[in-house]
Amino acid sequence: MNIPNPGWAYRDSWYRRRIDSRYSSCDLFHPAGHGQDPCTAAGLCPVSIEKVEPPPSLIPYPGKRLTLIDCLGTHFRSDMDREIAFGLSQNHKSIPSKYFYDARGSRLFDEICTLPEYYPTRTELEILHKYAAFIMSVFRGREGDLIEIGSGSDLKVRKLLEAVPRHGLRKIRYVPMDISHAGLVQSSLSILRDFEGLRICGIIGDFTCHLSRLPGGRKLITFFGGTFGNFPDPQGIELLENISRIMGPEDRLLIGIDMLKDIAIMEAAYNDSRGVTARFNLNILNHVNHGLQSDFRLHDFEHRAFFNPDGEQIEMELRARRDVRTELRRIHMHVHVAKGEAIHTEISRKFSREKAEGLFRSAGLSPAEWYTDPRGWFSLVCLKANHSS
């Protein structure tokens, strides 16, 4: 089933039924008509919420174990208009990788994570499995927030939560933040079901601009999957600086980074034999078509992913098989992609330890712990903010 993103999930009857029938302790905030600032109620910084529209049957919810807050609101559409128009009007065309993650894109990414060629997920899980109890000891049985930015599916946070004794779960609030509305709701509900006593405050937001909306108390911030590697140096450093600004002396940032390795292994991870990564890459055009009312035909493009040794990164693009012309009708913009021309969609950086440490340092962060797998393919780094030490 396709749940359009964002903001439509609750209007979908299948989805509504699923929430109604399985979860009663759920609180969805509606900006208008409640006379209450939802963020204040949830212990978060004030924010205007413009779009969550739960059907009347979802309110009220005793227990209030799940709160959902929408920071994207109507801005999502105008930001998407502006960013897509900018990217497609450049000499080297591009679409920002965050637009991979509509409901279908999020599902395709989950499928990528199960592929034999896509080593990052299982390697990161292996590391988490080994060190979860140690990582979660930062809470030392005290109250705090376990924040996950770019949370996606719940695979990884489960490993951390499973390492917490049952009574400890009551002291923790899980705060996932993701741009994908459907993905965030689905994973929040699944965690809510399986971890009794845990409270969840899901934030539908963009971590490049909504970090200040995160709660201010004691926290462990997690940024899994190597998503940090989807940013070039300047944006990556800026993102880390923004994270470090909201960290207190005892707070930690646990960040996943994919390490440099044999080129054939890295390239195979982005050119899987079942073609799931190709579908994931091409699906970004579906998202653009839906959002900006265009008519890109997916079969007019070919998925390409290769390692660029200069940037030490995998680059993904969509190469036009023929001359393509379409109009982004929502913003009255005509686009021409010439045969053979590429639309760049993603970089996925692969790090040496020295390179990563340099970036962390530039952002005012330093490693407190460095966890890796026996082959050194992936690293989970626990960082503290220098300003607060």
Q: Which residues bind ligand AVI (CB under 6 A)?
A: 112, 120, 225-227, 229-230, 270, 277, 280, 346, 348
The beta-carbon contacts of 188-194 under 8 Å, at least 24 apart in sequence, are 188/66, 188/68, 189/18, 189/19, 189/22, 189/23, 189/26, 189/66, 190/154, 191/154, 191/157, 191/158, 191/161, 192/23, 192/25, 192/26, 192/65, 192/66, 193/22, 193/23, 194/158
Exposed, middle or buried by CB within 10 Å (0-12, 13-18, 19+), for 120?
A: buried
Q: Does 139 bind ligand SAH (CB under 6 A)?
A: no
Nearer of residues 49 and 125 to ligand AVI, judged by Cβ: 125
CB of 180 to ligand SAH, least distance (A): 4
Q: Does 371 bind ligand SAH (CB under 6 A)?
A: no
Per-residue binding letters, 71-100, with ligand SAH (x by CB under 6 A) = ---------------------------x--
Residue nearest to ligand AVI (CB): 348
**Tokens describing residue 280:** 């994931």
Q: Does 258 bind ligand SAH (CB under 6 A)?
A: no
Return the residues of window 187-206 that contact ligand SAH according to CB under 6 A: 206
CB of 226 to ligand AVI, least distance (A): 4
Token pair 């049952």: residue: 166
* Type and span of the H or E element at 221: strand 219-223
Picked from ligand AVI, ligand SAH, none, the partner binding residue 98 (CB below 5 to 8 A depending on kind) is ligand SAH
Is 287 strand, coil or helix?
A: helix
Nearer of residues 67 and 227 to ligand AVI, judged by Cβ: 227
Picked from ligand AVI, ligand SAH, none, the partner binding residue 112 (CB below 5 to 8 A depending on kind) is ligand AVI
CB of 72 to ligand SAH, least distance (A): 9
**# binding residues, ligand SAH (CB under 6 A):** 21
Residues contacting 46, CB < 8 A, separation 6+: 37, 39, 40
Picked from ligand AVI, ligand SAH, none, the partner binding residue 151 (CB below 5 to 8 A depending on kind) is ligand SAH
Q: Does 151 bind ligand SAH (CB under 6 A)?
A: yes
In the chain, where does DSSP find H-type helix? 13-22, 38-41, 75-88, 103-112, 119-136, 155-162, 166-169, 181-194, 233-245, 263-269, 276-292, 353-362
Picked from ligand SAH, ligand AVI, none, the partner binding residue 94 (CB below 5 to 8 A depending on kind) is none
Picked from ligand SAH, ligand AVI, none, the partner binding residue 178 (CB below 5 to 8 A depending on kind) is ligand SAH
Nearer of residues 121 and 294 to ligand SAH, judged by Cβ: 121
Centre a 10 Å sphere on the Cβ of residue 226 and count the other Cβ atoms it contains: 22
Picked from ligand SAH, ligand AVI, none, the partner binding residue 346 (CB below 5 to 8 A depending on kind) is ligand AVI
Cα-based distances in Å from 75 to 50, 118, 209, 233, 277: 9, 34, 12, 26, 29
Return the residues of window 318-337 that contact ligand SAH according to CB under 6 A: none
Helix axes of 353-362 and 233-245: crossing angle, nearest 10 degrees: 50
CB of 203 to ligand SAH, least distance (A): 9
Binding site for ligand SAH (CB under 6 A): 98, 101, 106, 109, 113, 121, 150-153, 156, 178-180, 183, 206-208, 224-225, 227
